[in-house]
Structure 1
Amino acid sequence: MKWIKSDLEQYKQAKEYVDTIVVPLIPFQLSQDDDLEKSAFQREVLSLFSKEIEKELTGRIMLMPSYNYLKNSTKDNEVERINEWVKDAKQQPFIHTFFITFDSTWKKSEQAMEGTLLWFPGIQSGDLHTKEMNTMIREQVAQIVDLIRSYW
């Protein structure tokens, strides 16, 4: 289920079955011209990953809105905010929380996060519309889905 009106209406009817949230963690930094395209591309790829994960696990997970943050911000403040998101989400019957990201700096804060961090190396560039890219994304999504299922 996605964070859209029709899915949320359906969620309210079946919330006892939806026990997992997935939160994409997406950095941005407008002040660094050299990183703009790379950051935008990684956001696109992470959005694709998130949508494919949600599609594979429909009926069991809620894909939350992406958590956007400044790339150079201190992770302590961000972890505090993220944990507030999780605290609010746990008012519903959500048991599992997964954060997905290409940003390896989250690994240092992983222990303080109220959920499981799924970090994977980012794809630096490419064309999202090629057959090779779609195959690679599907293969990685299958691995992530298996990992999430192992927590259930």
Structure 2
Amino acid sequence: MKWISEDIDMYLKSREYVDTIVLPLLPISLGEDMKSSVSMTEFISLLTNQLERQFRGRLIMLPGFSYLKNDSSEKNFLDLKIWEKEFKEKGFQHVFYVTSDSYWRTKETELEGSLIWLPSLPLENMDQNYKVSILEDQVKQLLNIFVQKWNQQ
């Protein structure tokens, strides 16, 4: 379910069946690495939209945790921990973070949720059909990860 009124109405009616929340981690940079930041954000946004379609009704897809890439990394991490605490307090058994920013891999063991890091693919110059095909392949891999995590419990 997306972070939109219609989907949240559906969630409120069936929240006991929704145990998973997904938060895309989206870096923002206006400096030299702006293009890289945009590429990561675009890739993760498209990917998580596809993922939400596959698991509609089983998870809530949040709009994203945007943060300044050049800001204090520790501040970003502490802010994310506050979000994580809220997710757990609201009963979400499974928390997934999806990102292309390699910084988060250094913090993976300190997160209670599951970090899924994927290298960003430069989608801007791809043919639309090829882009869709690549995203579908990536989503298939993510589907397996999600199912494995769900089955661990």
Normalised to the residue count of structure 1, the TM-score between the two structures is: 0.91
Distance 1:61 1:67 in 2: 17
**Which residue of 1 is the match for residue 6 of structure 2?**
6
Check the 8 A contact 2:95/2:113 in 1, yes or no: yes
Q: 2:22 aligned with 1:22, yes or no?
A: yes
Distance 2:117 2:76 in 1: 16
Q: CA deviation at 1:71?
A: 1.1
Q: CA deviation at 1:124?
A: 3.2
Relative to structure 2, which stretch is displaced further, 76-85 or 47-56? 76-85
Structure 1 residue ranges, 4+ long, deviating more than 4 angstroms after superposition: none
| CA deviation string 1:53-106 (max 9, x = no partner) | 111011111001200111123332222111111211223221000000001111
Amino acid at match of 1:48: L
The count of aligned residue pairs is 150
Distance 1:9 1:129 in 2: 36
Relative to structure 2, which stretch is displaced further, 14-23 or 36-45? 36-45
Check the 8 A contact 2:87/2:95 in 1, yes or no: no
**Which residue of 1 is the match for residue 85 of structure 2?**
87
| CA deviation string 1:115-147 (max 9, x = no partner) | 111001111353365211110110001100110
**Which residue of 1 is the match for residue 106 of structure 2?**
108
The percent identity for this pair of structures is 33
Check the 8 A contact 1:79/1:113 in 2, yes or no: no
Check the 8 A contact 1:15/1:93 in 2, yes or no: no
Structure 2 stretches of 5 or more lacking a match?
none
Amino acid at match of 1:22: V
Check the 8 A contact 1:96/1:115 in 2, yes or no: yes
Relative to structure 2, which stretch is displaced further, 112-121 or 127-136? 127-136
**Which residue of 2 is the match for residue 142 of structure 1?**
140
Distance 1:38 1:130 in 2: 20
| CA deviation string 1:16-67 (max 9, x = no partner) | 11101110001011132xx323322321221111111111011111001200
SS in structure 2 at match of 1:87: helix
Relative to structure 2, which stretch is displaced further, 59-68 or 80-89? 80-89
RMSD, aligned CA: 1.5
Distance 1:83 1:57 in 2: 25
Distance 1:7 1:112 in 2: 31
Amino acid at match of 1:12: L
